[in-house]
Amino acid sequence: MQLVIGNKNYSSWSMRPWVLMRQLGLPFEEVKLRFDFAEGSAFRQAVARVSPAGRVPVLVDTGFAVWDTMAITEYLHERFPGRGVWPAAAPDRARARSLAAEMHAGFGALRSRCPMNIEAALPEVGARLWVEHADLRADVKRIETMWAQALAASGGPFLFGAFSAADAFYAPVCLRMRGYALPLVDGTLRYIESVAAAPGAAAWVADALAEQDFLDFEEPYRSRR
């Protein structure tokens, strides 16, 4: 299998299946494409060859392409049964899918106001955004509530005890919250550290820090020229 992804420093959607597969030991080859969204760019041409959606990530398995993180996750669950993509118990699976779907479809304020930038430490920006934007505060409150409920039920350290797709879906959120130093309760901070220390997430972060490929259009809060 091949997983087609974008820049690791910025690509939160690519991070989700990559971290999940790496964490669970599912075999794959990484194909990384440098972000460039200009019409006719090498990035657009390469993605178009494997996905009509024109976006990353894309999972390619013996020539069969699956795009969108939810679809990729479900494909992996069926392709590798019993490997822990989703929790083993049916109620936990349903709840884990609910949490992942809420991330997939929502939290636009957090995602737009605090774009993923693993290499950057932006506490001053985070403090300003927190004061100025009630929708950001509402997103974080909802996420903290979900996490607290899941962790209380499972006993942690991950949302459903063992690392699953639910944790992979929220891994970029953890890095956003940490990078922008958003005000968080202790339980949230502990969960963020658990996710960041998981081998799959730690490997992605290490690669992102080594990338040193700064793109101005992904840098709304600073210039790297």
| 78-90 residue pLDDT tens | 999 999 999 999 9
- Render pLDDT for 103-154 as a digit per residue (tens, 0 to 9): 999 999 999 999 999 999 999 999 999 999 999 999 999 999 999 999 999 9
* 2-83: in CATH 3.40.1190.10: no
pLDDT at 224: 58
Q: What whole-number distance in Å separates Cα of residue 108 and Cα of residue 190?
A: 24
Would you kindly state where each structural domain of the chain is located, as residue ranges?
Answer: 2-83, 90-206
pTM for this predicted structure: 0.96
If pLDDT is split at 50, 70 and 90, which confidence band does 223 have?
confident
Amino acid at 175: L
Q: Decide if pLDDT at 165 tops 80.
A: yes
Nearest Cα to 9, choosing from 151, 216, 156?
216
pLDDT at 222: 85
Size of the chain in residues:
225
Same fold, 2-83 and 90-206: no
| Average pLDDT along the chain | 97
What three-state secondary structure class fits 66? strand
pLDDT (average), residues 190-194? 98
If pLDDT is split at 50, 70 and 90, which confidence band does 50 have?
very high
Q: What is the CATH number of domain 90-206?
A: 1.20.1050.10
* For the chain, percent of residues with pLDDT exceeding 70: 99
Q: Decide if pLDDT at 225 tops 60.
A: no
